[in-house]
């Protein structure tokens, strides 16, 4: 149940694929590459026909779109463009949880900066020290007016990230910026690329195995996604939950720690969602009885999605923080808290990316296996008020947005206000230091 699940898929799954795509992007687009692209298109469209929750596809003529893409792939001279045509077919459904997951690239890339929507404007939020962007003067708090000529908006920001991070990493991005003082400028930052193995050996037949490298990568990913805590005696605990990917046992551990305090600030900013079961167990830890999360409306059956009952719930004060990157399960959590009047939601309007989906992994080839996949929505989720959050999102009870000046110096007014709501004093400066941003390891 998460719009940005391909971040998980690419790290934990499709890294196993051989780098056919990387080779195709640096060498001539062969007929074999063309056949691979045609096979991917066929498999993806067949999976959508089998599993998509709306068999009428919202009125989209999926077969027509597929035929046009097939004709395009037959003529194109680039694997990049072929993959783009597959992604475009899937995108016609305008569904946050239905998207094409291409094969892994032969290189890792890092642009050296992060950005997000704050209200209706896009801002740089982090700049990696000593990156090309940093050396050229990119700063947190710079407003992003355009990326490669395209104005980022609430509707297209995730598509820009999907395009430039997943489908077609660039050697550099050209930005049109405005600093906190209102001065505009342009900047092109070079991308750092790191080579990955062309072929991954998991058998050990050559006297060695790359499985240990994959395990190390997964360990680094797990560290990035760990739950973080800040405690203020018995009065308050602040929990930063990066994803809803905890096991029931892990959820119980978090709740046991939370119950020792009188108030909880749950930081779901940047949380893209996660597993249905994690949401059921975690949300259930805040109510004394089962609560309906939403009505699950699928192709075959409609049924309520309920929390998992918890006989020792947390009953203290609760504040939930969300922002424009809070999606899927994070949005469901926040909205249920609102509808049940269990706590206060603070921050920015959430993503509006709320469906239930499953990942389908496909493969092509015999000697060299190419892995790819597709995330497909298998149910819409209708909240207790009769509305879906898809393309709507959660409006906080109290909207608190950082200014460009706040971003520039690392202040966090939303966290500071959340602390005030539970009776604790915390300056925006101190709030901004609670959970330092961590860059992915090389």
Same domain, 226 and 312: yes
pLDDT of 101 over the 90 cut: yes
The Cα 411–Cα 408 span in angstroms is 8
Check whether residue 309 and residue 226 sit in a common domain: yes
Q: For residues 369 and 261, what is the distance between their CA atoms, to the nearest angstrom?
A: 51
What average pLDDT does this structure show over 160-184?
A: 94
Residue 282 sits in the same domain as residue 399: yes
Count: domains in the chain: 2
Whether residue 298 is found in the same domain as residue 176 = no
Q: Which segment of 89-103, 113-127, 221-235, 280-294 scores lowest on mean pLDDT?
A: 221-235
Q: Using 50, 70 and 90 to split pLDDT, how confident is the model at 440?
A: confident
Q: Please report the pLDDT score of residue 195 as a whole number.
A: 63
- pLDDT tier at 13 (50, 70, 90 boundaries)? very low
In a domain, 208, yes or no: no
Residues 229 and 290 in one domain: yes
Is 187 a domain residue? yes
**267/177 same-domain check:** no
The CATH number for 176's domain is 2.30.42.10
Q: Do 74 and 34 contact (CB within 8 A), yes or no? A: yes
* Residue 413's CATH number: 3.90.226.10
Helices (H) and strands (E) in the chain, counts: 14, 18
Residue 434 has pLDDT above 90, yes or no: yes
* Pair (178, 285) in one structural domain: no
Measured CA to CA, the distance from residue 158 to residue 257 in angstroms comes to: 34
The overall average pLDDT reported for the chain is: 88
Q: For residues 112 and 131, is the Cβ–Cβ distance under 8 A? A: yes
| pLDDT of 21 strictly over 50 | no
Compute the radius of gyration of the chain from its Cα atoms: 22
Torsion-angle region of 187 (φ positive above 0: left; ψ -120 to 50: alpha; else: beta): beta
139 lies in some domain: yes
pLDDT digits (tens, 9 = 90+) for 111-136: 999 999 999 999 999 999 999 999 99
Residue 221 — pLDDT band, cuts 50, 70, 90?
low
**Contact partners, residue 144, CB within 8 Å, separation at least 6:** 115, 122, 123, 124, 152, 175, 176, 177
- Please check whether residue 97 lies inside any domain of the structure: no
Model confidence over 363-395: pLDDT tens digits?
Answer: 887 666 788 999 999 999 999 999 999 999 999
pTM comes to: 0.89
pLDDT at 317 over 50: yes
Give the pLDDT confidence score for residue 48 in this predicted structure: 98
Instruction: Quote the longest CA-to-CA distance of the chain.
Output: 66
Measured between alpha carbons, how far is 47 from 31 in angstroms, rounded to an integer? 24
Contact 73, 45 (CB under 8 A): no
pLDDT at 18: 29
- E strands, 37-171, are 99-101, 107-110, 113-118, 121-127, 143-147
> Which of the four pLDDT bands, split at 50, 70 and 90, describes residue 252?
very high
Look at residues 159, 180, 195 and tell me which one is the last residue of a structural domain. 195
Q: How many residues does the chain have?
A: 442
Between 21-35, 79-93, 301-315, 419-433, the lowest mean confidence (pLDDT) is in 21-35
**First and final CA of the chain: distance in angstroms?**
28
Enclosing H/E stretch for 292: strand 292-298
At residue 97, does pLDDT exceed 60? yes
Give the CB-side neighbour count of residue 334, counting CA atoms within 13 A.
Answer: 38
Mean pLDDT on 247-272: 97
Please check whether residues 247 and 388 belong to one and the same domain.
yes
**9-23, 134-148, 262-276: the lowest-pLDDT one:** 9-23
Is residue 426 assigned to a domain?
yes
Domain housing 285: 220-355+380-431
**Cα-to-chain-centroid distance, residue 46:** 25
Q: Which residues contact 152 (CB under 8 A, 6 or more apart)?
A: 115, 117, 122, 144, 146, 160
């Amino acid at each position: 149940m998460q719009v940005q699940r391909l971040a998980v898929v690419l790290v934990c799954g499709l890294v196993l694929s051989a780098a056919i795509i990387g080779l195709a992007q640096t060498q001539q687009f062969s007929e074999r590459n063309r056949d691979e692209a045609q096979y991917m298109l066929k498999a993806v469209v067949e999976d959508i026909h089998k599993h998509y929750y709306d068999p009428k596809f919202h009125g989209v003529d999926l077969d027509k779109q597929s035929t046009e893409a097939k004709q395009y792939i037959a003529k194109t001279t680039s694997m990049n463009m072929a993959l783009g045509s597959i992604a475009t077919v899937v995108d016609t459904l305008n569904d946050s949880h239905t998207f094409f997951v291409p094969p892994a690239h032969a290189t890792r890339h890092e642009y050296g900066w992060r950005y997000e929507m704050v209200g209706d404007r896009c801002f740089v939020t982090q700049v990696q020290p000593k990156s090309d962007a940093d050396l050229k003067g990119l700063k947190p708090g710079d407003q992003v007016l355009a990326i490669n000529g395209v104005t980022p908006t609430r509707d297209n920001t995730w598509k820009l990230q999907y395009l430039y991070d997943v489908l077609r990493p660039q050697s550099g991005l050209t930005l049109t910026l405005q600093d906190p003082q209102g001065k505009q400028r342009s900047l092109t930052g070079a991308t750092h690329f790191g080579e990955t193995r062309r072929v991954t050996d998991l058998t050990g037949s050559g006297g060695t195995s790359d499985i240990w490298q994959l395990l190390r990568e997964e360990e680094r990913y797990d560290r990035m996604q760990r739950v973080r805590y800040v405690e203020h005696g018995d009065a308050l605990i602040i929990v930063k939950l990066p994803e809803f990917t905890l096991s029931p046992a892990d959820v119980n551990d978090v709740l046991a720690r939370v119950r020792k305090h009188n108030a909880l600030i749950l930081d779901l900013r940047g949380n893209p969602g996660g597993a249905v079961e994690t949401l059921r167990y975690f949300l259930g830890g805040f109510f004394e009885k089962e609560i309906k999360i939403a009505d699950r409306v699928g192709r075959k059956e409609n049924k309520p999605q309920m929390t998992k009952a918890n006989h020792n719930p947390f009953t203290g004060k609760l504040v939930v923080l969300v922002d424009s990157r809070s999606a899927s399960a994070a949005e469901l959590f926040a909205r249920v808290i609102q509808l049940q009047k269990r706590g206060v939601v603070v921050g920015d309007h959430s993503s509006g990316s709320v469906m239930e989906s499953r990942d389908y992994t496909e493969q092509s080839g015999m000697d060299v296996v190419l892995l790819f996949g597709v995330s497909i929505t298998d149910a819409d989720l209708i909240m207790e008020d009769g509305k879906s959050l898809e393309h709507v999102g959660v409006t906080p009870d109290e909207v608190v947005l950082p200014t460009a000046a706040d971003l520039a110096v690392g202040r966090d007014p939303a966290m500071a206000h959340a602390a005030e709501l539970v009776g604790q004093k915390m300056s925006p400066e101190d709030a901004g230091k609670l959970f330092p941003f961590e860059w992915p390891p090389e």
